[in-house]
Amino acid sequence: MCLDYVTSVFHLVDARKRQPDSATNHVNDVYDPDSSDPDDTFAAARSFILAQKEGAAAFASVRGPFLAEIEFKCRIAARREEDEEAWGEVRLLDLLCSYFARFGAKQVCAFDLKLYMSSLDASEQQEFLKRGRETVEVDSKGVPTSVRPPLT
């Protein structure tokens, strides 16, 4: 579901850029659950994803909104979008570390993160590993025993 949403928003943003006069100009859109307008700006999409993350915070198994945010950040960076500032100063590394801290105890976490690790440069990959080690408690033999809760 999250990838479908991300793909749809990028299609809407691209269509809007091709036909700027056909749509109203909502530069600083914010997600409005009562609106039937599509999320055709990166700002509206980010607002929607953050609202979904907030709603999912109480459920330990809900990964979709967190993955959607990571996917958006990757796609925007890959396209070198001028609208990247819509995502603020959030770095991909920080999103991946937060995701690992939250879902690292799940087997699927490694598969999720594997898709995005190549988007980090070598120093960021080393930083990710360092921060990951700080999140996992190990016994005297180096075997993981538990995952520390994320710092918020």
Locate the domains of the chain by residue range.
1-90, 91-152
Using CB atoms within 10 Å of the CB of residue 64, give its burial: 0 to 12 exposed, 13 to 18 middle, 19+ buried: middle
Return the percentage of the chain with pLDDT > 90, whole number.
Answer: 25
Instruction: Give the confidence band of 147 by pLDDT, cuts at 50, 70, 90.
Output: low
Mean pLDDT of 113-136: 92
* Average confidence (pLDDT) over 90-100: 92
Give the pTM: 0.74
Q: Report in angstroms the alpha-carbon separations of 69 from 5, 23, 56, 134, 152.
A: 11, 25, 13, 23, 17
